[in-house]
Chains A and B, each alone.
Chain A
């Protein structure tokens, strides 16, 4: 297992390096300059500025320079914020985005698993039909539209939750729900399918033949086995939540990384673009590793490294 994890960490580093390189190249192809009034500046002034930010050197040199600094933990300073270090900036804002993403994932996963189980057990009945319909609706509606609808009803009409902001539990509800329902719908559909499949397995009949109650059969034998494949969708879903939160943070004016990421691209704030991308990429890569390790925890067949398997 330790060898396996080490090997995976190796792959992660390679992946991360590729992400940095590609982002760097793509970023340099963005049109425009980081300087707001570039067209009003004289060529001399522009050259001076470029020299100041190190942008006058050839791109390969800039790239190597960036890598060198990166290895030493220096992500550079943000152009927009008077060379305030990007790392400091990320550390300040990242916890907010992380909290939003985490709350949304928990909300969506717990509710989704619950709905999927209920739907799978009552397959073909009204409850199942209702859940499936709801799931299709929630998967189809983009989170930003859903966010606007929620804002209209719950903030403007009924006035229970604030329209925007991020201060206290009440402000969390709408953004978390906006991102979370998509997760919920996806997981509910997966869980339902798995539940139906597991309930048709022979070992469920074995459990019934032991004289166990319906509840014992479902809780002890069905749910755990049905959850194994769910773990695999959690990885891709995390990335969906991350991209979803970019927009949602903007809509609800949440001071997380998502809104700054968009700003950074618009203003060609190179170090900030690099920093936020690296953070998201790192988050995603780590999530996938955690998911794979989790897989082994839930499914004993995967736990054994090498040796016997089916």
Chain B
């Protein structure tokens, strides 16, 4: 099968203060043309590092891709030189960031920030690049683009800035768009607008999206497939329906339970007790074992292998072993909280 992007056994290590933090520990992922893959997990699970690795933006030092391959249309990006990577970034794969308030250069006009990529990758003249920048602003729904193109970021609101960030990312029609928590820093009504915009643009351009988020509402809105990350590993992957209606990993259960629901009987928010593992000294067994209500002895000693649950779903959990006791998912994971 030919995937647009295939990550094979990726390991990313950060050498910090004499310790080796293993931020990403042997993950494998595939992304097909035009689809949206969500990577979910809490802070420190390695999701952002994975996306930075794909962009070739892991700061080195202290970071380093220790082993693994990132195959983009069959070519291994890990082996690419700095110069080669510059031709991929922004042209083939581009990225939108979490905080639109800081993601734009405060002293450069919006138009120029969009034009830069166009001039670099498509060798457009200044005049043509500006025309295209105005088109892009129109496309992302910024009113009065002819005038706005000559304004500075501080003259835009947060939501409008995120639209500009999206316009920059889409400038050269990339094949993959990585969205790293694109709505986290925005307020709720703006979040919905940005998500609508992203879905709209995906239909128009056919760009594949890797959506990094911890917000399952956003996932439900946008993604077709979901990968759940914990402690630098992917613990479960599946289609959107499989993850939401038939999750198998206790961590996925925990994530779904902790989602606030509109019609819940209790007014308390459910949380997963405990904290993620220290990745400078990663656990031998399943990283979730210390927080898992169903943990067994084997869980802390051996990392479970993936169990294929369907053609599209697999999970790494000892509960799925035939010798394990049967555990039912908690009743709190009802899916009623999509925004």
Binding site for B on A (CB under 8 A): 201-203, 205-214, 216, 220-221, 224-225, 228, 298-301, 304, 308-310
Contacts and interface: CB of A to CB of B under 8 A. Distances in A.
A205 B121 contact: no
Interface of B: 55, 57, 82, 86-91, 94-95, 97, 99, 102-108, 113, 116-117, 120-121, 152, 154-155, 165, 168-169, 171
B117 A225 contact: no
B106 A301 contact: yes
Contacts of B165: 206
Contact of A221 (B89, B105, B152): B105
Nearest to B99: A202
A301 B152 contact: yes
A298 B107 contact: yes
| Complex A-B, nearest 5 residue pairs according to Cβ-Cβ distance, in ascending order | A211-B90, A211-B89, A210-B90, A202-B102, A210-B117
Nearest to A207: B105
Contact of A206 (B82, B97, B154): B97
Nearest to B83: A213
Contacts of A205: 57, 97, 103
Nearest to A214: B82
Given A209-B95, A210-B116, A301-B154, A225 B90 contact: no
A54 to B, nearest CB: 56
Contact of A211 (B99, B120, B154): B120
A172 B105 CA distance: 41
Nearest to A208: B57
Nearest to B94: A209
Contact of B121 (A206, A211, A216, A298): A211
A68 B195 CA distance: 71
A221 B171 CA distance: 19
30 contacts: A201-B102, A202-B97, A202-B99, A202-B102, A203-B104, A203-B105, A206-B113, A208-B57, A208-B89, A209-B89, A209-B94, A210-B89, A210-B94, A210-B117, A211-B86, A211-B121, A212-B86, A212-B117, A214-B82, A216-B116, A224-B107, A225-B107, A228-B107, A298-B107, A299-B106, A300-B152, A301-B106, A301-B152, A304-B155, A309-B154
Nearest to B55: A209
A206 B104 contact: yes
Contacts of A212: 86, 90, 116-117, 120
A63 to B, nearest CB: 48
Contacts of A301: 106, 152, 154
A207 B155 CA distance: 20
Nearest to B85: A211
B105 A206 contact: yes
Given A206-B103, A212-B116, A213-B86, 20 more contacts: A203-B104, A206-B113, A206-B168, A209-B55, A210-B94, A210-B120, A210-B168, A210-B171, A211-B90, A212-B86, A224-B107, A224-B108, A225-B107, A228-B107, A299-B107, A300-B107, A300-B152, A301-B106, A304-B155, A308-B155
B114 to A, nearest CB: 9
Contacts of A304: 155
A227 to B, nearest CB: 9
Contacts of B154: 300-301, 308-310
A210 B171 CA distance: 9
A228 B152 CA distance: 16
Contacts of B155: 304, 308
Nearest to A224: B107
Given A209-B57, A211-B121, A300-B152, A203 B86 contact: no
A41 to B, nearest CB: 66
Nearest to B151: A300
Contact of B103 (A202, A211, A224, A300): A202
B74 to A, nearest CB: 20
A216 B89 CA distance: 14
Contacts of B57: 205, 208-209
B102 A203 contact: yes
B6 to A, nearest CB: 21
A211 B97 contact: no
Contacts of B168: 206, 210
A202 B57 CA distance: 12
Q: Which of B99, B105, B108 is packed against the most chain A CB atoms within 10 Å? A: B105
A193 B55 CA distance: 27
Contacts of B89: 208-211
Contact of A203 (B55, B103, B117): B103
A142 B94 CA distance: 52
A210 B167 CA distance: 11
A201 B104 CA distance: 9
Contacts of A208: 57, 89
A203 B106 contact: yes
A209 B90 contact: yes
A211 B107 CA distance: 19
A212 B90 CA distance: 8
Contacts of B88: 211
Contacts of A298: 107
A308 B95 CA distance: 29
Nearest to B105: A203
The listed residue with most B CB atoms (<10 A of its CB), out of A211, A214, A298, is A211
Contacts of B90: 209-212
Contacts of A211: 86-91, 117, 120-121
